[in-house]
Amino acid sequence: MHWLTDPDVALYALVIVALWGVGSPMVLYLSALRTISSEYYEAADIDGAGRIRKFISVTLPLLTPTVLFNIITSLIAAFQTIVLAFVMTGGGPAESTYFYSFHVYRSAFTHFRMGYASAMAWVMFVMIVLLTGLILKSSKYWVHYEADGGGR
């Protein structure tokens, strides 16, 4: 199979290579899992919760701040995807891996249309800010922060 020369498969090949970058968010999830106090799980045991109920009612809500961080940083990274497409396919075949950020790069440094590329970069910046704002606005409905227990 011609992974990088077939327009129907080239994007999937880039996705498979990009999965290598999943390690960083996983380290953050592991760190967040280790900060969850065992007292929560003991309380769930006393209440008779099983493994699935503990995950849904204890683990998942306490991981939501980390989920929020990973969503925002992954969103920003996704908009800035250029290196894989540039190195592996050059935007081809048939522009199947020609991302917006790659178009900005080509406009600026291949075609020397700096004003146009700058305007496109600003559009990308505004899109990132708007999507990040929407995610942060919605976070009050699904992100749960652990109370300090002080009652003050």
Residue closest to 78 by CA, chosen among 105, 100, 59: 100
Can you give the pTM of this predicted structure? 0.81
Written as one letter, the residue type at 76 is: I
pLDDT of residue 31: 96
State both tokens at 33: 């899992």
Q: Which CATH number fits domain 10-142: 1.20.1250.20, 3.90.226.10, 3.30.70.20, 1.10.3720.10?
A: 1.10.3720.10
pLDDT for 13: 82
Of 61, 58, 53, nearest to 39 by C-alpha is 58
Q: Which residues of 42-75 are buried (b: 16+ CB within 10 A; e: fewer)?
A: eebeeeebeeeebeeebbebbbeebbbebbbeee
Instruction: Give per-residue pLDDT as tens, 23-77.
Output: 899 999 999 999 999 999 999 999 999 999 999 999 999 999 999 999 999 999 8
pLDDT tens string 71-123: 999 999 888 888 778 878 777 777 777 888 889 999 999 999 999 999 999 99
Q: What 3-state class would DSSP assign to 65?
A: helix
